[in-house]
Amino acid sequence: METILNIADLGKTYQSAGRTLTVLHNINFSIAAGSTNAIVGPSGSGKTTLLGLCAGLDRSSAGAVELNGINLGNLTEDQRAQVRNQYVGFIFQNFQLLPTLTALENVMVPLELRNEKNIRARALDLLDKVGLADRGHHYPNQLSGGEQQRVSLARAFSNSPKILFADEPTGNLDAETSEKVVKLLFDLNKEAGTTLVLVTHDLDLAAKTQRIIRIKGGQLIADEKTING
């Protein structure tokens, strides 16, 4: 199976009050294309930092991140933005929809950036898939949390990403809504054949993936396949 993401000797340090703070240390793993993966760990373990580095949102202090064969460390921030636009989709715990855009417009943005055709129809199709075809003209603050996360899902899949990063996708949702959103996430992922990397401390959710990478104190402590793997 091909590798979509390769992490080698990855490290991240911050300068804080004159001290060097090591958040991630010597992380190594690869993610196979089309697989579903979970990064789990307690609060402050460095999992969100790891997600940011994998997705090209931040620069590493050591080691390399190779996404779809591209070494992100060699790119400028604008070049990484272009990589994100072409290959990456995102789901956030707090949805991160643009508050001044309608649900439909939020889904359209990645496509508009790529100057694609039939944008509106494709975005409407995606909203239909997440069950919000009739809510396209609503603004984020007019939607419930679950609805906002579904719009976020539609947006994440709109640019047909090769890899989807999800940061605690159910963290702000109640149990019932969480279940629906997770089902939708996995269904869409399966349908599109996208690689999924999700960061969570919800072990039940992690168990739905094929592989769990455990992090503690900035270090990789376990990497195991689940029953789905």
Partner 1 sequence: METNPVNYHRKMNIPWLFNMAWRDTRKNRSRLFLFISAIVFGIAALVAIYAFKYNVQNDINGQAATLIGADLSVSGNKPADVHLKKLLDSLGDERSQERSFASMAYFPKSKGTRLVQVRALQGNFPYYGAIETTPEQAGTTFRKGQMAVVDKTLMLQFNAHVGDSIKIGNSLFLITGILNRAPGQAGVVAGIAPVVYIPMQYLEQTGLVKIGSRVNYSFYYKFTKPVNLDKLTKKLDPMLDKAGMRYETIEGRKENTGRNFGDLSRFLSLVGFVALLLGCVGVASAVHIYVREKIASIAIMRCLGVKASEAFLIYLIQIVGIGLIGSVIGAALGTAIQHLLPVVFKDFIPFTISVQISWMAIGQGILLGVIISLLFALLPLISVRNVSPLNTLRLSFDDAVLSRDPLRWLVYLLILLFIVTFTYLQLDSWLGSLFFTLGILGAFIILSGVAWLLMRFTKLLINGSWSYLWRQGFANLYRPNNQTLILMVSIGLSTMFICILFLVQNLLIGQVTLSSSGNQSNMILFDIQNSQKDSVARLTRQQGLPVLQQVPIVTLRIEQINGKTAADLQKDSTIKIPHGVFAYEYRVTFRDSLSDSEKLTDGTWIGKATPGKDIPVSVEENLSHRANLKIGDKIVFNVQGVEMPAYVASIRKVNWGKVQTNFQVVFPTGILEDAPQFQVLLTHVPSNKVSALFQRAIVSSFPNVSIIDLGLVLSVLDELLNKISYVIRFMSAFSIITGVVVLVASVRISKYQRIQESVLLRTLGASRKQIFAITALEYWFLGSLSALTGIVIAFGGTWLLAKYSFEIPYTVNFLPALILFFVISILTVIIGLLNSRGVLNKPPLEILRNNA
The angle at the Cα of 85, spanning 163 to 6, to the nearest 5 degrees, equals 40
157 forms part of the interface with partner 1 (CB under 8 A): no
Closer to partner 1 by CB, 78 or 224: give it: 78
21 forms part of the interface with partner 1 (CB under 8 A): no
- In terms of C-beta density within 10 A (0-12 exposed, 13-18 middle, 19 or more buried), how is residue 74 classed? exposed
Q: Which of 21, 113, 203, 222 binds partner 1 (CB under 8 A)?
A: 113
224 forms part of the interface with partner 1 (CB under 8 A): no
In whole angstroms, the minimum distance from the beta carbon of 74 to partner 1 comes to: 11
- Give the separation between CA 66 and CA 35, rounded to whole angstroms: 16
Q: Which of 37, 123, 167, 218 binds partner 1 (CB under 8 A)?
A: 167
In whole angstroms, the minimum distance from the beta carbon of 214 to partner 1 comes to: 20
In whole angstroms, the minimum distance from the beta carbon of 57 to partner 1 comes to: 5
Report which secondary-structure segment, H or E, holds 216: strand 211-216
C-alpha dist (Å) from residue 103 to 100, 107, 112, 150, 223: 10, 6, 14, 10, 37
Q: Mark 41-80 with x for binding to partner 1 (rule: CB under 8 A) and - for no binding.
A: -------x--xx----xx---------xxx------xxx-
With beta carbons less than 8 A apart as the criterion, state whether 25 and 57 touch. no
Kindly state the tokens that stand for 59. Answer: 């620069």
Beta bridge partner(s), residue 7: 29, 65
- Give the separation between CA 66 and CA 10, rounded to whole angstroms: 11
In whole angstroms, the minimum distance from the beta carbon of 112 to partner 1 comes to: 5
Distance of CA 196 to the CA centre of its chain: 7
Q: Which of 27, 54, 65, 84 binds partner 1 (CB under 8 A)?
A: 84
Report which secondary-structure segment, H or E, holds 164: strand 163-167
177 forms part of the interface with partner 1 (CB under 8 A): no
Closer to partner 1 by CB, 115 or 175: give it: 115
With beta carbons less than 8 A apart as the criterion, state whether 87 and 157 touch. no
Closer to partner 1 by CB, 7 or 109: give it: 109
117 forms part of the interface with partner 1 (CB under 8 A): no
Q: Which of 31, 38, 104, 109 binds partner 1 (CB under 8 A)?
A: 109
Applying CB under 8 A, the residues found at the interface with partner 1 are 2, 4, 33, 48, 51-52, 57-58, 68-70, 77-79, 81-87, 90, 92, 96-101, 105, 109-110, 112-115, 139, 141, 155, 162, 167
